[in-house]
């Protein structure tokens, strides 16, 4: 669901769209071509990933300015997401259950 993905990654998380078509959307920050790609090429209508199956469990995005983490947490809360604090920064689940971690540039996620 491209529109649902954009609502999370663009509207709640704040990534900028860099390219869009009906079946895909590419989003990034800092002028990069894309950090996240949302598409329905093999997964149209897919629901939340079952944690017992293989698939993307989590990803992290580094945040250059530590003050941005607090701003992002407020933005996510306002969008109805439920961010939690982790040692490296904050973590939130996207609409498919993938854990998205926003971490400071100096911190590296464990795992």
> Which tokens is 19 given?
């390219």
> Which tokens is 15 given?
């990534």
Q: What is the pTM of this model?
A: 0.82
Taking a C-beta distance cutoff of 8 angstroms, is the pair 23, 40 a contact? yes
Q: Tokens 């996240």 belong to which residue?
A: 36
pLDDT digit string (tens) for the chain, length 111 residues: 899 999 999 999 999 999 999 999 999 998 888 899 999 998 777 778 788 888 888 999 998 888 888 889 999 999 999 999 998 899 999 998 999 999 988 645 555
In this structure, the number of other CB atoms found within 10 A of the CB of residue 89 comes to: 23
């Amino acid at each position: 669901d491209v529109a649902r993905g954009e609502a999370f990654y663009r509207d709640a998380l704040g990534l900028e769209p860099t390219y869009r078509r009906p079946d895909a959307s590419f989003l990034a920050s800092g002028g990069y071509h894309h950090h996240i790609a949302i598409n329905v090429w093999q997964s149209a209508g897919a629901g939340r990933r079952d944690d017992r199956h293989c698939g993307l469990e989590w990803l992290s995005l580094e945040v250059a300015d530590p003050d941005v983490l607090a701003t992002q947490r407020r933005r996510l809360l306002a969008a109805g997401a439920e961010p939690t604090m982790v040692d490296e920064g904050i973590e939130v689940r996207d609409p498919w259950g993938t854990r998205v971690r926003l971490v400071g540039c100096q911190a590296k996620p464990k795992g």
